[in-house]
Amino acid sequence: MNSPRRRGSWEPAPAARWEDAFLTGNGTHGAMAHGRTRDELIVVNHHLLLRPNGGEQALAPDLAGQLEDLRDAVLTGRAREAVARQVTAPLQWVRPFHPALALRLRRPATPVGGYRREVDHRTGVLATRWDGRYAETFASRADDLIVHREVRTGAVRLTHHWQLDGAPEESDVRTTATAEPGGAVLRTDVRYPGGSGYGYTCWTHVRATGGTLRTEDATEDAAVHAEGCAEVLLLTRVHPWEDPPPPALPDHPYPDLLERHLARHTPAYDRVDLDLGAPEEHRALPGSALLADPDTHRPALLERLFDAGRYHLLSSAGVLPPRLTGLWTGSWDTAWSGALTCDANLNLQVSSAAAAALPEVGLAHAAFVARQLDDWRSNARRLFGLPGLVAPAHTDGRSGHAYHYSEDHPLHLWTAGAHWLLQPLLDHVDTTGDTALADTLVRPALAETADFYRAFLTRTGPDGRLLLVPSYSPENTPLGADSPISVNAAMDLAAARHTLTATRDHRTADRLPPYRVNADGALAEWAWPAAPDHQQHRHLSHLHPVWPLGEINPLDTPGLAAAARRALHLRGSENHSAHGHLHRALTAARLGDADLLGEALDAVLRGRFFHPSLMSSHYPGLDVYNADAAHTLPGVLIEALLHSTPERIVLLPAPPAQLPRGTVRGLRTRCRTTLTTLDWDTARGRVDAVLLADTDRSVTVHLGTDPDRPPLHLDLRAGHPTPLHLDPTRS
């Protein structure tokens, strides 16, 4: 392997669009720096900034009294008319996420030479350098603010630029600039239109070393001027009015602010490293050059996207897990409201968190779930008249009420959501041994979800098996059917079976129907003959028992795994959304299908899904800013190299041709064991690994997913490294 490499990215020119801006974040605040030398814009984000649209007071509809009639209608082929009776109002989107404003820094026009803008993933610092001048920005994990420093950049005029793309002109906005001891403060108060009473405040405190600070408190253009200063320090914080006021600003110089931040960010980021042996001349290229020719630069590009994906995931997880856009946007017109979309996207984005040694992401997800449980209980009562938990398919992060649905997308009837959203927490608990979280949140929430299924499962089929009705497979419709609502969606079956089994209700779980294999030999999306498969769709919900559950896998259930693999190969890409390609790749990894995983990876790398910022888009051709590909790609690479259960470790389950050799360090497994090193070279037939267990335990270790290849049975001792030397050419 090559020498240790720098982990970050750079560009030789400023960002042409906000989508190209480099990103920093601490899980609450985010910043997007364009890197301009004369008229810089640093977009400021806050995870909980939401524009009122009526959704702030919305509840799930009260449909409990219609449940039995709905079931009768679905079972007799009248689902659409029954669902239509429930949909009596226009689609209500969740409150849209939006930026706060931008820090606008106007500097004198000077010749620019030696330009470079960069992001350091190990530190979270964004830097712009030219002709001995530089500016740096980071979002402090320790002090929850955005820190910006100007060094030798000349005179600077700072304003709050609120009129970003799509900003509602009718908002009540007031900005003031005032002197304060040791500096100045620029303050903007924004009251949303419509009389809701909601709004937010953004403060930027300005401190200078040497020179002078002057405030300009004009009604239309309040500003702070810094002149002749050796250094200017800006400390920015946002306060959504729905939340308690923030604490007092820390009184620390820049080196202390940075050191306090690094103490939290860098150790988290450094836990895992992927080295694919890329040529040093490729590693030295800007990100845009790697993206322009992904085939030539494949190892270097995958290294950088892996690093960037872990960085962006860590940076966007804190008060919430990541939104569709992480925690960043430069527009008030964010696609799909910038929501947390829970029927696929959120779980895909956090898919790497446990194995990639980012428990911070798991804890952010846990906090999100815990805050919403009362709303999930309300959903179960109002929608179905039942106890337990029903999670929404879309949420703004504050409200968990299931009010976003339509006749064509009846998301209010999706019952697998609570189980789906608890699954990442099960991985977190298995990986970290966080018994406190398991006892206070995960097990009780699973028990409540099981309560829902026991109350919900009242209908039976001709064979005496329990029926899941109504049943919804997001966001698909059986071929030729007039409604997405049907019976026994495979995802619902998997969620119900796993929830009941995990809570030791085997009696009810055993009464559920088996998965169905259709005439094509494929795992069917509905275990209901009257619901034929519609294969041209972006979602892969029916393969939930493969990924993330692992209930179906080549080692334990080879027959069903073959049917699942057939289903995966039959599935189309529909609109070529990034989450569809990467969901396919995650599932292919679990099935040991390296070729299909490689095809999905190629589709994303060759489809122009990544901006120069290394944040991604939802569609090919950089269409619609979206974090799905950026955050999910590390999970795909990890799943190609490692899968684990509480008793088993599978090394190299599906290494595609794009990964012929490499080294990964620090991956965590669900059997409380760290894969401190995995070093592989398929051409030389060499696989070396070192395992380090947290506690004494016995595990089986498989190389690949061939059920005929005997595994190793190991007794691991806590704290004692166990080296393995494996030959993939031997059975």
Cβ atoms of residues 434 and 428 within 8 Å: yes
Cβ atoms of residues 723 and 688 within 8 Å: yes
What is the pLDDT at residue 731?
Answer: 59
pLDDT at 617 over 50: yes
Place of tokens 């506690």: 695
Say which CATH class 71-92+317-572 falls into. mainly alpha
**Of residues 560 and 3, more confidently modeled:** 560
By C-alpha distance, which of 644, 571, 647, 663 is closest to 275? 663
Distance of CA 336 to the CA centre of its chain: 15
Q: Per-residue pLDDT tens for 160-219?
A: 999 999 999 899 999 999 999 889 999 999 999 988 889 999 999 999 999 999 999 877
Taking residues 273-286, what's their average pLDDT? 97
pLDDT at 5 over 80: no
What is the pLDDT at residue 89?
Answer: 87
Taking residues 455-462, what's their average pLDDT? 96
Taking residues 36-60, what's their average pLDDT? 96
State the Cα–Cα distance between residues 615 and 313, nearest whole angstrom. Answer: 10
- Amino acid symbol at 642: L
**Whole-prediction pTM:** 0.96
Backbone angles phi, psi at 671, to 5 degrees: -110, 35
pLDDT at 98 over 80: yes
Q: Per-residue pLDDT tens for 500-554?
A: 999 999 999 999 999 999 999 999 999 999 988 888 877 899 999 999 999 999 9
DSSP 365-419: HHHHHHHHHHHHHHHIIIIIS-SS----SEE-SS--------SSS-GGG---HHH
Cβ atoms of residues 288 and 147 within 8 Å: no
Q: Mark 329-338 as b/e (b = at least 16 C-beta within 10 Å).
A: bbbbebbbbb
pLDDT at 2 over 90: no
Distance of CA 32 to the CA centre of its chain: 18
Domain residue ranges of the chain, discontinuous segments joined by + = 11-50+95-263, 71-92+317-572
Taking residues 117-137, what's their average pLDDT? 96
- Residues ≥6 apart with Cβ < 8 Å to 389: 373, 376, 377, 379, 380, 418, 445, 448, 449, 452
Tokens of 410: 């009846």
Cβ atoms of residues 303 and 5 within 8 Å: yes
Percentage with pLDDT > 90 across the chain: 90
State the Cα–Cα distance between residues 148 and 669, nearest whole angstrom. Answer: 38
What is the pLDDT at residue 3?
Answer: 42
Say which CATH class 11-50+95-263 falls into. mainly beta
- Amino acid symbol at 470: P
Average pLDDT, the chain: 95
By C-alpha distance, which of 454, 570, 487 is closest to 523? 570
